[in-house]
Amino acid sequence: MVHDSALARGETDFAADRLREQFGRPVFLVHRLDRATSGCLLLAFDRDSASALGKALMSQDFEKDYLAVCRGWPEPAEGVIDHPLDGGPGKPQKKPAITAYARLATAELEIPSAQHPTSRYALLRCTPQTGRFRQIRRHLKHLHHHMIGDSSHGDGRHNQAFRMMGVHRMLLHAYRLSFPHPLDGRRITAIAPGDDEWNRAMARLGWSDVMEAALQRPPGT
Task: Report the 10 Å Cβ neighbour count for 187.
Answer: 11
**34 given a catalytic annotation:** yes
Residue of 34, 65, 150, 155 with catalytic role: 34
CA distance 187 to 182: 10
Can you point out the beta strands (E) in 72-180? 78-82, 98-109, 119-128, 172-180
Residue pair 15/28 in contact (Cβ under 8 Å)? The answer is: no
Output Rg (C-alpha) for the chain, integer angstroms.
18
User: Distance from first CA to last CA of the chain, Å, rounded?
Assistant: 31
Nearest to 148 by CA among 217, 67, 90, 214: 67
Answer yes or no: are the C-beta atoms of 139 and 99 closer than 8 Å: yes
Query: What is the C-alpha separation between 143 and 83, in angstroms, rounded?
Result: 10
The rounded distance, in Å, linking the Cα atoms of 46 and 145 is 40
Catalytic residue IDs: 34
